[in-house]
A and B are shown apart, each in its own frame.
Chain A
Amino acid sequence: MTFADSEEGRALRASVAGYLGRHFPISHARACYDQDGVLDRGTWSQLVGDLGIPAFVLPEAHGGLGAGFAALTVALEEAGRVVLPEPMLPTVWCSIVINEIAEEAVRAEFLPRIASGELIGTIAGFSEAEVQARDSNGSKEPNGTVALNGVASHVVCGATADLVVVLAQDDQRAPILALVDGDAPGMERRQLTALDCTRPLAGLALSEVQPRATIEAVEPERLDRARDLMALVLAAEQLGGARAALDMAVAYANTRVAFGRPIGSFQAIKHKLARVFIAIEAAAAVIPLAAEAADAGSAELSVLAATAKARASEAFVQAASENIQVHGGIGFTWEHDAHLHLKRARSSFELLGNPTVHYHRLAELTETADR
């Protein structure tokens, strides 16, 4: 039985959903649109203290809960339902990369501070390789003698993050990870006007920035696994948003009357929403399996994570757009919540690789698989 279906998994879901429903309903996300997305550190500390999500997959030795991806995906799904605007996802991403790739000393230094909510984190440079890391004095010593130069675009919560994990290239074009303070000297951060106000984006310009820590000789398999894990947790969040959008559409279809009957009684609406359901629930069947593979360290993770990200992306966009369609004119207004899901669906679609990227990867993985 998957964790999500177990009594423990159901209890976790109910508890997270209940908490978010009371303290962070979708009206809280809407407030970001009306106020240009102002982050409140007090609210963030409260949220992390109460739910502990950044600690879920981190080891207990470093302040984590050791609860695994099976639990994290359930919790993040519920966060996706309410379009949670707090920087939960980028902080989780940041912690995943450090936990999976950094050496023990770096992990011991940073993970507890992320787990506690002290540090808001994000990642940069994972989509485009535009940051160069070079020795500032010609030697190869770590921690402070490497300087970063370049730009990173579309950094989630880049303007407000305390800690940025940057994927850069060294002189030999080999990957190198650098942990950088958000307000490090030489770091210019420009908040962009985002389509999705609940997922702020920034452009970063780095000029001779000195990182807190660097991880050189990054093994490709570890980087792949980190990417897969980040894609998986985003897919879980997308699933929650998709389910919420479908629930909204079904509720409306059952109550809105036209031509003397609820519009949900028309087959065109029924078939449309059944298709959305299928897209969502098929992706949903893969996510717990991917989480199990993640927790077991199984090689199956790659295929499952790519499938989950690609299919959850498509399902969320489909659910959000059909939700607007079913609502008719009212779904097109600012005041209705439908556009919050549409914009979150669109931004999630592109982050960490759109479906095309993942389908190409799946083709490669299948072609080289054991027969």
Chain B
Amino acid sequence: MIENWSAEDFRAHVRHVLGDELPQGWRGYGALMPEQRIEFSRTWRKTMLEHGFLAVTWPSEYGGLGLGGTAHAILAEELVRAGLPTTPLPNDPFGLAMLGPTLLHWGSEEQKQRFLPATLSGEISWAQGFSEPEAGSDLFGLRTSARVMGDNLVINGQKVWQTAGLGANWLFVLVRTDPDAARSKGISFVLVDVDQPGVEVRGIRNLTGDVEFAEVYFTDVLAPIDNVVGGLNNGAKVALTLLGFERGLGGLAAARGFGIELFRLIDLARSRGSWDDPTIRLRLGRCASEVQLILGLARQAMDDVENGRSLRTQTSSMIKLLTAEHRQTTSTLALEILGLDGLVLEGPHAAEWGRPQPLGTTATSSGPWVEDYLNARAGTIYGGSTEIQLNTIAEQVLGLPREAR
């Protein structure tokens, strides 16, 4: 039985499945032409679903494999190694990795039955409604309001920066249900159907010219009180649980992805004669050391989980901060190697925006590197900006006095 397998057994199982399921001559997702990607991802998602790989940590009664965090980390790492997307469709991270585990922790049985299978099947496609124009780092200063009217909440306000927002048909939203309570105490976490009057979704074009994010306007939008998760005015706690999942155990897969990116960077340097430049080799070597640091921290995180300890605050903060800065360092180095050619976009559109490009991506075309450089600006801002991470480490780990509020 899969539940009794060791970590190494599970890894062997994953490799076996991937070996069976991958097409002949598979060179990695990055080698696909842009126009082939969506079709491949849809088909691949079905394969993942069949093998239970979309939600390995969910209990089997909700469609998962009931395995621990280690299994999830191993699967993600093997997928990256094989050049496969860990979350096939753009909205998958929000449903599978964030909302799903949060519902398992805080949701009622009805909510779990209503939303988990539909999320797994892809019938429901989620986006995250947390940030507002006036509330980013200061999330609990949010203003979107929800007043109770009979069996419903009536929601008014605006949310911004939903990743894959245009593809979502449901949102999980933080709203202020008690305007008189102080800050975090009057917030509720509610699930909202996008497909109703009063919900207006608009795309946001980012500095690469792509529309990855959306903003949402709510005008008298209805959400049944039954869709509030964790109880009225308890949303701050639910949100913190979810944000913990957002950080999660992605470090091993990230480190594997960075290793693949490092090889591409070396190939780029070789192709342009920059490998002969000792300062470039020095910087590449330093990038390589950074990948080892991230891997070391990821293994430390896994260690905590495997030994039943809660994840140390500093470990997830450091992984987030270091991975974001690493992407900026590698993409900047790539552009410096490219020189004037880095001013011209050439080659296929990049497959990933928030992660290193997958196996099979061209190393020598400027396009994906330029997109990485631009997209990497976001990493030190979202998911807890670098400045917030430094505050967290200083206050919660070093014990220095808190910021005045």
A270-B394, A270-B395 are known contacts. Are A363 and B282 too (CB-CB below 8 A)?
yes
A363-B284, A366-B266, A366-B288 are known contacts. Are A267 and B391 too (CB-CB below 8 A)?
yes
Partner of A304, one of B275, B278, B292, B387: B292
User: A277–B321 Cα gap in the complex (Å)?
Assistant: 13
A253 interface hit (Cβ, 8 Å): yes
Please name all residues of chain A whose beta carbon is closer than 8 Å to the beta carbon of B306 when the two chains form the complex.
1
Please name all residues of chain B whose beta carbon is closer than 8 Å to the beta carbon of A274 when the two chains form the complex.
389-391, 393-394, 398
B262 interface hit (Cβ, 8 Å): yes
**Binding stretch for chain A, among B55-63, B236-244, B297-305:** B297-305
Partner of B285, one of A250, A269, A278, A358: A358
- B282 touching A273, Cβ below 8 Å: no
- A5 touching B286, Cβ below 8 Å: no
- A282 touching B281, Cβ below 8 Å: no
Q: Which residues of B365-395 are within 8 A (CB) of A? A: 387, 389-391, 393-395
B196 interface hit (Cβ, 8 Å): no
Shortest distance between the CB of B229 and any CB in chain A (Å): 33
- A270 touching B288, Cβ below 8 Å: no
Q: State the majority secondary structure of interface residues on A.
A: helix
Q: Which residues of B244-295 are within 8 A (CB) of A? A: 262-263, 266, 275, 278, 281-286, 288-289, 292-293
A250-B400, A371-B263 are known contacts. Are A281 and B289 too (CB-CB below 8 A)?
no
Partner of B321, one of A278, A306, A310, A361: A278
Residue of A271, A286, A358, A362 with most chain B CB atoms under a 10 A cut-off: A362
- A278 touching B318, Cβ below 8 Å: yes
Chain B: residues with Cβ within 8 Å of the partner, total of 41
Please name all residues of chain A whose beta carbon is closer than 8 Å to the beta carbon of B303 when the two chains form the complex.
1-2, 5
A275 interface hit (Cβ, 8 Å): yes
- A273 touching B394, Cβ below 8 Å: yes
A318 interface hit (Cβ, 8 Å): no
User: A359–B283 Cα gap in the complex (Å)?
Assistant: 7
- A277 touching B400, Cβ below 8 Å: no
Please name all residues of chain B whose beta carbon is closer than 8 Å to the beta carbon of A282 when the two chains form the complex.
293, 296-297, 318, 322
Shortest distance between the CB of A252 and any CB in chain B (Å): 11
B47 interface hit (Cβ, 8 Å): no
Q: Which residues of A211-268 are within 8 A (CB) of B? A: 250, 253-254, 261-262, 264-265, 267
Q: Which residues of B contact A (CB under 8 A)?
A: 262-263, 266, 275, 278, 281-286, 288-289, 292-293, 296-297, 299-300, 303, 306-307, 314, 318, 321-322, 387, 389-391, 393-395, 397-404
Q: Can you give 17 contacting A-B residue pairs, CB < 8 Å? A: A1-B303, A1-B307, A270-B390, A270-B400, A274-B390, A283-B293, A285-B293, A285-B296, A285-B300, A307-B289, A355-B286, A358-B289, A360-B281, A360-B282, A361-B285, A362-B289, A363-B285
Q: Which residues of A contact B (CB under 8 A)?
A: 1-2, 5, 250, 253-254, 261-262, 264-265, 267, 269-271, 273-275, 277-278, 281-283, 285-286, 289, 303-304, 306-307, 310-311, 355-356, 358-367, 371
